[in-house]
């Protein structure tokens, strides 16, 4: 992607719009050397050991599933405030996006030890198709922001509302429509799919009746254009339409998890503290995204603040109130999410036994529900 088209893509896509439910939207279409180092420019990469001598920090590389915007604001705060360094870690974060390998690809290639993927489906497809043995150990979003925008003339609020619809979507989004209809007990061929890009204008122009979106992004585009939610457009998550999945899921090869438990515990302590602090003032991480970690992306500060404010409630739910941020529920995966993955066509699904390692979060929180 040339620089001009990249800037236009970032600006019009609401800088994060590609992190959708299906993997094809973020499939690798080239390579990226973009990295975000854990240490700030003026901070050391060593700390003092018990004898006063410098002690080297442990390194870890994480592949992110999208560009360096405020979707990863908690990471920027954990770097900037020294939380990773406090845990003895010097992390590197590989930037994702349309020109970067998907996190499972980067991890399988050895470019990163761990990944964080907006598409839970993509992780499972990697296991089914590539034989990768991944372990899940946390999730940023309790409710995925992936969803649907529709208009009051043809509102989409349940799976039944998709019957017979003219649906605008990015590559891969069609599987969502089919799965929602199938799980809802409806004819999964009774719709018309119309390919669309990352901006919702075609919906507002009447080219279709619903549009696949990332609800922390495209609705903000419409709001900036003067449209009013509830009057001019309606939003619904795919979970509301019967497709519950986590988003920005943390994963790593089983061998790495088994051999680096302590490192991952310390990593999650720093990461979660960054996200907890992010809730205090959403502008701070937004400004870091605009002025430092995503400075070359042409991000808009007001949009980044709005995105951060929109995503924070989706990080929380009954489980996080009981356990803390990033908690993941194996029973919910088994009971609610495996049927979705089956409907989308993931085959075979990995055994549930050993799929999730809760000991990392258990040891990170150490009986508490916060890192403060």
CATH fold for the domain made of 146-237: D-Maltodextrin-Binding Protein; domain 2 (3.40.190)
Provide the angle, in degrees to the nearest 10, between the axes of the packed helices 261-278 and 73-80: 100
Dist. CA 60–CA 347, nearest whole Å: 31
CATH H-level, domain 31-144+245-365: superfamily? Periplasmic binding protein-like II (3.40.190.10)
The arithmetic mean of pLDDT across residues 94-123, rounded, is 96
SS3 of residue 338 by DSSP = helix
For residue range 326-355, list pLDDT tens digits in order.
Answer: 999 999 999 999 999 999 999 999 999 999
The pLDDT assigned to 181 comes to: 98
- What are the sequence ranges of the domains in the chain? 31-144+245-365, 146-237
Q: Is there a common fold for 31-144+245-365 and 146-237?
A: yes
| 6 pLDDT tier (thresholds 50, 70, 90) | very low
| Strands laid side by side in the 146-150 sheet | 191-195, 165-169, 210-214, 146-150, 234-237
The pLDDT assigned to 292 comes to: 98
For residue range 125-172, list pLDDT tens digits in order.
Answer: 999 999 999 999 999 999 999 999 999 999 999 999 999 999 999 988
Asked if 217 and 16 count as a contact pair (C-beta separation under 8 A), the reply is yes
Q: What is the CA radius of gyration of the chain?
A: 20
Dist. CA 51–CA 154, nearest whole Å: 69
């Amino acid at each position: 992607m040339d620089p001009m088209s990249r800037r236009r893509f970032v600006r019009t896509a609401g800088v994060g719009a590609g992190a959708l439910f299906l993997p094809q939207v973020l499939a690798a279409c080239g390579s990226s050397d973009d990295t975000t180092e854990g240490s700030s420019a003026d901070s050391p990469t060593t700390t003092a050991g018990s004898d006063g001598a410098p002690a080297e920090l442990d390194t870890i590389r994480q592949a992110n599933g999208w560009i360096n915007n405020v979707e990863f604001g908690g990471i920027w705060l954990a770097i900037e405030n020294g939380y990773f360094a406090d845990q003895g870690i010097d992390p590197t974060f590989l930037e994702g996006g349309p020109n970067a390998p998907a996190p499972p690809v980067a991890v399988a290639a050895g470019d990163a030890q761990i990944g964080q993927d907006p598409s839970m489906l993509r992780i499972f497809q990697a296991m089914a198709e590539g034989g990768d043995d991944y372990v899940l150990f946390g999730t940023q979003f309790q409710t995925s922001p992936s969803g649907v925008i529709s208009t009051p003339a043809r509102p989409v609020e349940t799976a039944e509302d998709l019957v017979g619809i003219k649906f605008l979507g990015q590559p891969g989004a069609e599987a969502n429509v089919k799965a929602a209809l199938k799980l809802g007990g409806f004819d999964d061929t009774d719709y018309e799919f119309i390919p669309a890009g990352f901006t919702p204008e075609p919906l507002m122009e009447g080219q279709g009746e619903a549009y696949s979106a990332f609800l922390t992004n495209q609705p903000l585009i419409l709001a900036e254009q003067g449209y009013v939610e509830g009057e001019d457009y309606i939003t619904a998550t795919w979970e509301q339409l019967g497709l519950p999945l986590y988003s920005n899921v943390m994963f790593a090869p089983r061998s790495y998890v088994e051999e680096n438990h302590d490192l991952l515990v310390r990593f999650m302590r720093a990461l979660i503290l960054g996200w907890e602090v992010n809730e205090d003032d959403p502008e701070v991480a937004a400004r870091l995204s605009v002025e430092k970690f995503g400075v070359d992306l042409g991000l808009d500060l007001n949009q980044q603040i709005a995105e951060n404010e929109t995503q924070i409630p989706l990080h929380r739910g009954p489980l996080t109130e009981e356990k803390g941020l990033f908690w993941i529920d194996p029973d919910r995966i088994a009971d609610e999410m495996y049927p979705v993955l089956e409907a989308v066509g993931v085959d075979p699904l990995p055994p549930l036994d050993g799929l999730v390692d809760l000991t990392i979060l258990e040891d990170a929180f150490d009986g508490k529900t916060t890192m403060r």
